[in-house]
Structure 1
């Protein structure tokens, strides 16, 4: 369990913090680099140029938080759009000097901050073998890395979602082939990406009232940021609810087909058996 962080100091550059900032995520420099898809060297370089605030010092350890994550994501995004570090430095300086661009910092955290509160966890190859047993193979590990479920770190592996990894290990121990499980993730991912895009669009729809190339007025930012922070967990609830509904329907359809096949074999009435089985299944689902 992560340690409870100390009281939050005033945010750099006047950025707007969510009401739940006392439960913020915290990272070492290695974890920060990993979750923002950059390198420790880049993190140090951005700090040296004044693009990234220094970490909080606890003894000899530097502790970063979600404000650093969102700032790094902003830098990465601007670099991808063709801005130079000098351009970005001018932008950050304008923000830090209190220009209207300051407003983007609160939105940057609310929109670009991580949605998961899980912290990455490192596993040795032996630990993975113990978790997945004889289901583990070089091919399965390679596919898990390709899917981003694991990341190589020297001779070890890092999972950004240890809970999901543990769930996969339990399913493998219950007899599900690891290759089939990874195939299911690969097949489902584009659909989850589409769902995520739709829900993020709903959350950031709050910005649609403003011009696409203009920041909201500073006076509007606190309420806007607060609204986005309230909408984020509701989007996750909607995903879980819809997923449960879809799982119930899929399992009900499978059960109906299985019962229909049994009745066809035992009673010799394929049409009647199939119809009866599907009726029973649908009635059961309706009662739920």
Structure 2
């Protein structure tokens, strides 16, 4: 998965450190989402067992929660990458793109000749 970055010269051990950081944050966010379900739905019943019809609704809610969290995770990761790239590399990338779009003009010997001013300079 990370072989493109490793091939480009990024050390694999540093890549894995970022994956560990990412995993910890994703696990925390997933846990918080499940806690919302527990706090606002499951706790309504206190210590009592959920009725069968509510149990199936809860199961359905949890199954729908996973793809919603995945979509939110992808969207937030994309947003965060855009912000990080812009913040850390924005000026440098902007300069590179500007140079690619507008390469410096080269001067020739005839371009470097001083222009004559005066009444015959239009000839």
TM range (shorter): 0.5 to 0.7
CA-CA distance at 1:243 after TM superposition:
1.0
2:86 aligned with 1:255, yes or no? Answer: no
Helix, strand or coil for the counterpart of 1:214? Answer: coil
Q: Which of 70, 78, 82 matches 1:244?
A: 78
| 2:41 pairs with one of 193, 206, 231 | 206
Take 1:176 and 1:191, find their aligned partners in 2: how far apart are those partners?
22
CA RMSD, Structure 1 to Structure 2 (Å): 2.4
Map residues 15-164 of structure 1 onto 2, 5 A cutoff.
none
Please identify which structure carries the higher strand content: 1
Deviation at 1:251, TM superposition (A): 0.6
Residue 106 of structure 2 corresponds to which residue in structure 1? Answer: none
What TM-score comes out, normalization by structure 1 length?
A: 0.29
Please state how far the C-alpha of 1:186 moved relative to its aligned partner.
3.0
1:173 is matched with: 7
Give the number of the structure whose residues are more often helix, by fraction: 2
Q: For each residue in 1:135-171, what CA deviation from the matched residue of structure 2 results, as whole angstroms up to 9, or x when unmatched?
A: xxxxxxxxxxxxxxxxxxxxxxxxxxxxxxxx12333
8 Å CA contact retained: 1:206, 1:228: no
| Aligned residue-pair number | 94
Question: Which runs of 4 or more aligned residues in structure 1 lie more than 6 Å from their structure 2 counterparts after TM superposition?
Answer: none
The structure with the larger Rg is 2
The answer to whether the aligner puts 1:233 opposite 2:103 as a matched pair is no
Contact 1:210 1:216 in 2 (8 A): yes
TM-score, normalising length: structure 2: 0.61
1:257 positional shift? 4.7
- Seen in structure 2, the aligned counterparts of structure 1 residues 230 and 254 have a Cα distance that, compared at 3 Å, is same
**Structure 1: stretches of 5+ with no match in the other structure:** 1-166, 263-288
Q: Distance in 2 between matches of 1:193 and 1:221?
A: 25
